[in-house]
Amino acid sequence: MELDPDNVVSPFKMGALMMRTARAEEALVFFRMSSELRPDAPVVHNNVGLTCTKLQMFEEATAAFERGLEASKDAQAKGMILNNMGIMYKEMGETEKAMECFEQALRLPSVEAYINKASSLIDAGEYEEAEKCMREGLRVKPESLSDAYNGLGASIEMTHSRLNQSVVFFEEAVKANPRNEPAYFSWVHLRCRLCDWREHERLFEEVRKMIDRGATGGLGPIFGLAYPLSDEQMCTVARARAREAVGNVKRMRNEFVPWAPNFAAIPEKLGIAIVSADFNMKPVGQLIQSVFKMMDKDKFEIFAFMLEAHDNSHVMANIANSVDEWNWCKGLSPLVVAQMVNNEQPNILIDFSGFTDGARNEIGALKPAPVAVNYLGFPYTLTMEGFDYILSDRVVLPPEQHTSCFPEKVAWLPNMYMVNDHKQSQAEQILGDFTAANASNLSLPHRSQQLVLANFNHLQKLGPHTFHLWLRIMQELPDSVLWLLRFPPEAEPNLRREFEEREIGTRLHLSDKFPSKIHLNVKRAASLLLDTLEYNAHVSGLDALWAGLPLVTLAGSNMARRCGASFLRTMKVPQLLARTSEEYVSIATQLGENPRKLQELRDKVLNDDRLPPAYSPAGRIQQVERHSLRYEGTSLVHLPLFLLCSSPSTPVAPPPSAQAPFLLVHLFKLLTFSSRAGSRSSSRCCGSCGRLCSLPPPSSLTPTRSLQLPKARRPCI
């Protein structure tokens, strides 16, 4: 470059080298230089646009792409630039402009446009149209096999049908390009969904190597929790997903001004924004549907923001009718929803989605409420700055597992952190019986006729380690049958193959999912619930316990693998909690061999008189509201999280800090908070067994000032 400053090739190659070494800012300098030397070359403007897009410099990226289009003399160059403009608009959240670019590129020979249009259609839920788009792209440019097959596999998988065909397409994508990371992750994940565990260890050895070198594209964090990954690898997966949202937040902050509360004053009513794509028949909706109608509306205002469409369910109706304001936000950008939340001036935002389908994590991170809480939908850290707290209990998230991966402080609740609604919404099913005749009418096994071992999870939560433990239990109990859900149906041949290889015969019973109006009652036909150790039974575990079905589990290595232990501790049945895989097999086998002991446990689980208030929303709220939290004679309103999940305990205030505003230092008195420097609590978890040992109660912190209740609803500075 020094010898020939006018040589356009040198800065172009330098820019490409910088991009390959993740030095985008330096690459942009060289690409700008090459675009000045050759303004008639579309490719140099295209590279400026791509680099600016990576750096979230969208205004300059748009200008560069437009210059590239003006300089383009052939259709292929125009197609390339239009495709990249579409990607840029998609990152900006401008879906209509992105689709317009892809449509224009489709008229030109660019298979990438087909792939990206299909991706946008998948995001919009148009799965059949996405499949058609990918098939057309494969026809137009068959040499782009890997990306086209990957897009085709994704389009079919999202329809939740023909999953075996989807596996074939993902495999073809990997064969065509072994370096296609999204295709490889999708292929391995779908094989797990279908319980095809052939070559399981070899495939995951490669997955772990890919994660260790920073390749996580296409691997969903919610699925990673069930995979054989280390804590560091799981953290890498979550951080990779968070980076995309963090980049969006940085761009949106220029257009967003959060409201400014006055932390020196306590509002008469606390404003709570609840955000989720799952306020419907999905698990989160089923768990929380009674909570908000039980809250004291003289103390709280609840603003709900639903990120998905209406599913016409009674669950959605229950939630919508129990909040002060209900907002439909399907199809709206995170920035628009954050502005809607901000207009309500809530004190606290609770994100019930985390890294699950339909989530918009940017909303909470933009801080439309002074405090953002991660709760329930995703049992792990969001790894994002901007979320202040994660809600858990000391069995699900012991202090020793709260690592540097968690930027959130942990709000540890006295009992289990999950709330559920069954006593309110499913009372008839809980109190009713399910006889052998009822089971026969539905072609189901019944515990009165044989030992029925059961699990009602989606089969993607099941891994080979747990399944082989189940087969060992069945070998010890020759009269037993294993009852699973056909969820998905394509997994059945693989499960039956596992049975045949172990020579257990045909003692596998698979049934379809049951309608919500009978699903709890039907589960009474089983004798014993065996938990999935890769990813515990969460809602289905609570379902089983309410139906009187004992649950055998083992506390694992992350939050998703410890919920069963939390349930058993709360219900005071620790004899069902194993400490090792061998003990897991032993507990299940001994119960199967001792019908009297098993019946005693069923009776104990069914008798909910001894349950602590954390198990029922109604009991929990009544107990919390009877407990008057006072501070220097001033009555404080309770944070709604207490009503969701906690019961009265010795008040413990967290240490004040710049990150914990004065208002919250006093509102969170019922909780015990952790920081990386340590924690304060009246009990702690001993090791991985999930059992508790007592510690001396901590002393309360001395207040630094008195609080006065203002007249304003939510005072601003």
> Mind listing the pLDDT tens digit for each residue in 229-287?
999 999 999 999 999 899 889 888 888 999 988 777 777 788 999 999 999 999 999 88
Structurally, what CATH architecture does the domain formed by 269-419 represent? 3-Layer(aba) Sandwich (3.40)
Distance CA 383, CA 302 (A): 26
pLDDT at position 430: 67
Length of the chain: 717
pLDDT at position 92: 85
- Between the CA of residue 526 and those of 104, 428, 436, 530, what are the distances in Å? 57, 18, 11, 11
Q: In terms of DSSP H, where are the helices of 92-159?
A: 95-106, 111-123, 127-140, 145-157
For 689, other C-beta atoms within 10 Å of its C-beta total 17
For the domain made up of 31-143, give the CATH fold. Answer: 1.25.40
The full set of domain ranges for the chain reads: 31-143, 269-419, 426-613
Residue 28 exposure: Cα atoms within 13 Å on the Cβ side? 15
Non-local CB neighbours of 506 within 8 Å, separated by 6+ positions: 499
> Mind listing the pLDDT tens digit for each residue in 475-496?
999 999 999 999 999 999 999 9
For 437, other C-beta atoms within 10 Å of its C-beta total 8
Helices (H) and strands (E) in the chain, counts: 31, 19
200: pLDDT confidence band, cut at 50, 70 and 90? very high
Distance CA 648, CA 612 (A): 11
pLDDT at position 310: 81
> Mind listing the pLDDT tens digit for each residue in 135-191?
777 776 655 678 878 888 888 888 888 899 999 989 989 998 999 999 999 999 999
Distance CA 356, CA 378 (A): 7
Distance CA 429, CA 222 (A): 30
pLDDT at position 12: 81
- The percent helix, strand, coil of the chain (3-state, each to 5) is 50, 10, 40
Distance CA 129, CA 140 (A): 17
For the ranges 70-74, 230-234, 427-431, 568-572, the lowest mean pLDDT is seen at: 427-431
Q: Buried b / exposed e across 36-63, counting CB within 10 Å, b at 16+? A: ebbeebbbbbbbbbbbbbbeebbebbbe
Answer whether residue 645 shows pLDDT above 90: no
Answer whether residue 221 shows pLDDT above 90: yes
- Residue among 27, 79, 34, 96 at smallest CA distance from 55: 27
pLDDT at position 672: 25
- Residue among 572, 238, 559 at smallest CA distance from 376: 559
Distance CA 163, CA 145 (A): 19
Answer whether residue 712 shows pLDDT above 90: no
pLDDT at position 599: 95
Answer whether residue 504 shows pLDDT above 90: no
- Residue among 445, 662, 419 at smallest CA distance from 539: 419
Non-local CB neighbours of 554 within 8 Å, separated by 6+ positions: 531, 533, 564, 565, 577, 578, 579, 580, 581, 583, 584
pLDDT at position 140: 65
Residue of higher predicted confidence among 524 and 628 = 524
- The pTM of this model reads 0.75
529 pairs with which residues across the strands?
A: 454, 551
pLDDT at position 661: 28
Residue of higher predicted confidence among 697 and 230 = 230
pLDDT at position 68: 92
- Strand, helix or coil at 389? strand
The residue-averaged pLDDT of 309-317 equals 88
Answer whether residue 110 shows pLDDT above 80: no
Fold agreement (31-143, 269-419): no
- Strand, helix or coil at 256? coil
192: pLDDT confidence band, cut at 50, 70 and 90? very high
Distance CA 518, CA 544 (A): 13
The residue-averaged pLDDT of 570-585 equals 95
> Mind listing the pLDDT tens digit for each residue in 115-141?
777 877 776 677 788 888 877 777 766
Answer whether residue 474 shows pLDDT above 70: yes
Distance CA 591, CA 597 (A): 6
On average, the pLDDT of the chain sits at: 80
Q: What residue type is 577 in one-letter code?
A: L
451: pLDDT confidence band, cut at 50, 70 and 90? very high
Structurally, what CATH architecture does the domain formed by 426-613 represent? 3-Layer(aba) Sandwich (3.40)
